[in-house]
Structure 1
């Protein structure tokens, strides 16, 4: 299939429910369980449990209608602001957040994080705490010059981003611009937590293939260093899943601190 025909997450119809059922369902045989569900929640839990990343405001700028990586974060930040570039994904998140009929169930993710925290009997409390922590779910256009001018949100003590750069960037220059725009929302001394797919070029939702930007942890780390951040942690985990639905080689996890 010609890559020029791939759809763009932030410009075309993106069936958010099919996306979640394909990549994030609680089914025991879900192909991407380790790569997309288990790994990010465990990495984030371990990083935050060290105790040096905490504060009042967390901003999450991720791809798709994902929230599972935020279950750990709500224990360390008072307020979470969720930014998404796709209207369908926002509707999907709000359906879950407001307990509407037909909402996607994230109970399996909440249960996993509660178990990591040694509180396996408090799964429901974990679910309620995250929903309470999320105060705003905001749509933005990643092609605007700056995120800070478009969105009236305070600078964050921490920014988390799972797969956003993968989905919206077209090339290296676009990647640098988008990463710099994310950093404008981060306080000096604040922390950035990034997850990304290594060497990904596409992912599939239903019958449609969507564009993904091919990059890796080295490219990301170099841009962060150029922007004055200190890399605290950089880990790469090879892909566990076998599927033609997407072609990433592995997942990288980076934490960094903004010095100025």
Structure 2
């Protein structure tokens, strides 16, 4: 099936709750834990434990409605601003933030974070810190020059973008364009933490097949450098599972800082 026949995440929509169940839950049939949960949680914990990435404002620009990328970050920033492309993602995230009935249970991810940090018994504290740290959840428009127009966000000390560029980019030009837009939200010297899937052309959410932009490590590195970033570290791992549900070959975790 050609990628043009696949649904597009931010155009056709996506069942955000189903995406959580398929890729981030603790259900026995969810087989992607090593890559979707453990890999990012471990690398984020290492990144923020070093201590040089911190400040007032962190902006999260990530796929879906997951929160586990914020467990380590919330210790280092006073204000977290979460930007989402759809109302459905915002509703799902706010259900968890407001501890409403029926919210997705992130206890397993909080426990993983705690185990990595050596304090697994305090998983509820980790979740409370994220809820306290997230100051704003806002919808943004990818096509606007100022993606949060008419609101102008304060320059961020750090941006986390997890799996979003896989979902929203059609081609290499799109990837470069969105990195450029993300960079405009970031202070000079600020950090971008980029997480994505390598060599992925599609992923399933329920019965829907969605397009993914296919790229490799070399392209991701060169794209960031071309847009004024300096790569501080880059970690990759091979996909832990082969599945008809998704065709990625590996995952990547890049930390870079904005030089210009």
Structure 1, unaligned stretches of length 5 or more? Answer: none
Alignment of 1:228-247 (within 5 A): 228-247=228-247
The 3-state SS of whatever aligns with 2:233 is strand
Compute the displacement of 1:51 (Å).
1.1
The 3-state SS of whatever aligns with 1:65 is coil
> 1:157 corresponds to which residue?
157
> 1:95 corresponds to which residue?
95
Alignment of 1:70-81 (within 5 A): 70-81=70-81
Compute the displacement of 1:80 (Å).
0.8
Deviation track 1:124-155 (CA, whole Å, cap 9, x = no partner) reads 11110100000111111212234265542111
Q: Is the 8 A contact 1:65 1:90 kept in 2?
A: yes
Deviates more, 1:118-127 or 1:181-190: 118-127
Distance 1:151 1:67 in 2: 23
1:210 aligns to 2:241 (yes or no): no
| Total equivalences in the alignment | 260
> 2:139 corresponds to which residue?
139
Alignment root-mean-square deviation, CA: 1.3
Q: Is the 8 A contact 1:140 1:151 kept in 2?
A: no
The 3-state SS of whatever aligns with 1:52 is coil
Structure 2, unaligned stretches of length 5 or more? Answer: none
Distance 2:146 2:223 in 1: 17
Deviation track 1:22-41 (CA, whole Å, cap 9, x = no partner) reads 10002355211001011001
TM-score normalized by structure 1? 0.96
Q: Is the 8 A contact 1:166 1:196 kept in 2?
A: yes
Distance 1:127 1:158 in 2: 20
> 2:20 corresponds to which residue?
20
Distance 2:11 2:244 in 1: 23
Distance 1:241 1:151 in 2: 42
Q: Is the 8 A contact 1:59 1:81 kept in 2?
A: yes
